Structure 1
Amino acid sequence: MNRQAQAAVLFLTGAALLHAGFTDLYLRYVKAGLQPLLLLAGVVLIAAALATVWYEWRGRKQGEPQGAEKADGAALAGDGHGSADLDDDGHDHVHREPRISWLLVLPLLALILVAPPALGSYSAMRTGTALQKPYGYDNLPAAGPLRLSVVDYASRAVYQHGRTLDGRQIKVTGFVALDHAGTPYLVRMALNCCAADAQPVKIGLTGKVPPVLQPDKWLEVTGTYTTREVKDPVNNGPIPFLQVSSATPVATPADPYDETWNN
């Protein structure tokens, strides 16, 4: 892979990062707070690509080194797939560039052509709940229904024993997951940094649960706090339940991950 090809790959990678950073695509990979760093990385890669092209052009314009020009001529006179050097006797030797280096383009093509779905029920039911006790809780409105994240409801139900939830109407949004026994859960994948470290937080559903539930479909569930709680069979972590009064299908949110679990 010559310098022009390297510059092209750098430029396309930087452009792909900028495209992802200026759209919601980056939320499939990293948390929202890392958007500025992602955009900065894209700018740096494009700058590096342009600098590579400029230095290559300046070197050729100045006619240096002559041996490299001869090597280029020898490569063009040969099979066109390698480079040539001169040894001490003045003989040309063609060195093939490793074609495996072009595999570096594959992640770039994947980033441009394929938008992977967010982690869903398959990962959630094979990973133990990541629920952790928070440092503190935000104050809740005194009246009206409570719109909580999966993590917020689960942590208040487990670690506050529902003291701030009892008797209140609660709305929670997440995707559906079913265990081997068919028990439904409302799940949100929580992350620290990026999708690679995402872990599930689960809420069990009881009460007026829809009779037919499809894994990975998103629901807005309305219900009330219940004292029912079970242990996650994967890591023995706590899973609270929500007494469902109604459930409405909703579209997948732009940011499918929950970032509130470590606040």
Structure 2
Amino acid sequence: MNRQSQAAVMFLLGAALLHAGNTDLYLRYVKAGLRPLLLASGAVLIAAALATVWYERRSNRRRGHTHDHPEPKVSWLLLLPLLALILIAPPALGSYSALRSGTALQKPYTYDALPAADPAPLSVIDYASRAAYDHGRSLHGRTVRVTGFLALDPSGAPYLVRMALNCCAADAQPVKIALTGELPPVLRPDAWLEVTGTYTPGLTRDPVNNGPIPYLKVTSARPVPVPPDPYDETWNK
């Protein structure tokens, strides 16, 4: 792989990063807040590739001839992650990962005021932290709406789950809500549901790490498409 080929690979990688950053594809890899850095990285790679081509052409004109030293053929393997990024959009982590990892629920520093809408739209993390650590004080007398995917433990107990990110999909961890009440007759793991319900006291414990899993009493549930951003970034405030 000569310098021109290296520049071409660099250009394609930069273009792939720009494509991912300008679509929802990047949300399968990193959290939404990193989008500006992803776009900047793509732009820098493209600029570096163009600068490399310009420098090589100018050097060749000065020398009057070129003599490319052979590069190890294994260097072409650098194209494999590039092709994977372009051709394969990995699915978001689902119930298989969620049931093999303990809940990552943590006590937040503060709680925002509950949305005035009825039902109040809450993230899985927001509902779970209010129910587990605030003893549901802000949830009493309110109907909430939460969206996540289904996970069924070995006994068939259903959980509404959202994988939460610190940085990227590699560090994703689940936050779980145990579901009771009016559940659909058929529960399919990894199906996404919009659940409406009310707070109910009590906690169960995650068998993986003994972390708290609060309950939500379901009054209605409906299937929804996988959201553009399948991960939840609502960590400690």
Structure-1-length-normalised TM-score: 0.87
Structure 1 residue aligned with 2:51: 51
Q: What SS does the corresponding residue of 1:40 show, helix, strand or coil?
A: helix
The 1:97/1:140 distance shift into structure 2, 3 A limit, reads same
Which of 175, 180, 185 does residue 206 from structure 1 map onto?
180
Note if 1:98 corresponds to 2:72: yes
Structure 2 residue aligned with 1:156: 130
Structure 1 residue aligned with 2:22: 22
The 1:160/1:114 distance shift into structure 2, 3 A limit, reads same
Structure 1 residue aligned with 2:38: 38
CA distance in 1, matches of 2:205, 2:24: 35
* Larger of the two Rg values belongs to structure: 1
Q: Which digits, 9 at most, give the CA deviation of each residue in 1:186-236, with x for residues without a partner?
A: 000111111111100000111111121111110000111111311100000
Which of 212, 216, 219 does residue 238 from structure 1 map onto?
212
Unaligned runs of 5+ in 2: none
Quick one: which amino acid aligns to residue 6 of structure 1?
Q
Note if 1:227 corresponds to 2:194: no
Quick one: which amino acid aligns to residue 53 of structure 2?
V
CA distance in 1, matches of 2:19, 2:106: 34
Say how many residue pairs are matched: 237
Deviation at 1:141, TM superposition (A): 4.0
CA distance in 2, matches of 1:176, 1:142: 27
Aligned CA-pair RMSD: 1.3
CA distance in 1, matches of 2:218, 2:226: 20
Deviation at 1:35, TM superposition (A): 0.6
Q: What SS does the corresponding residue of 1:62 show, helix, strand or coil?
A: helix
CA distance in 2, matches of 1:61, 1:217: 61
- The alignment-based identity, stated in percent, is 74
Q: Kindly indicate whether the alpha-carbon contact (under 8 Å) linking 1:144 and 1:169 is maintained by their aligned counterparts in 2.
A: yes
Quick one: which amino acid aligns to residue 18 of structure 1?
L
Quick one: which amino acid aligns to residue 48 of structure 2?
A
Deviation at 1:23, TM superposition (A): 0.7
Counterpart mapping for 1:79-228 below 5 A: 83=69, 96-141=70-115, 144-228=118-202
CA distance in 1, matches of 2:226, 2:94: 11
Unaligned runs of 5+ in 1: 73-82, 84-95
Deviation at 1:142, TM superposition (A): 5.3
Q: Kindly indicate whether the alpha-carbon contact (under 8 Å) linking 2:107 and 2:133 is maintained by their aligned counterparts in 1.
A: yes
Quick one: which amino acid aligns to residue 218 of structure 2?
V
The 1:142/1:33 distance shift into structure 2, 3 A limit, reads closer
CA distance in 2, matches of 1:144, 1:125: 31
Quick one: which amino acid aligns to residue 162 of structure 1?
G
Q: What SS does the corresponding residue of 2:17 show, helix, strand or coil?
A: helix
Q: Kindly indicate whether the alpha-carbon contact (under 8 Å) linking 1:124 and 1:177 is maintained by their aligned counterparts in 2.
A: yes
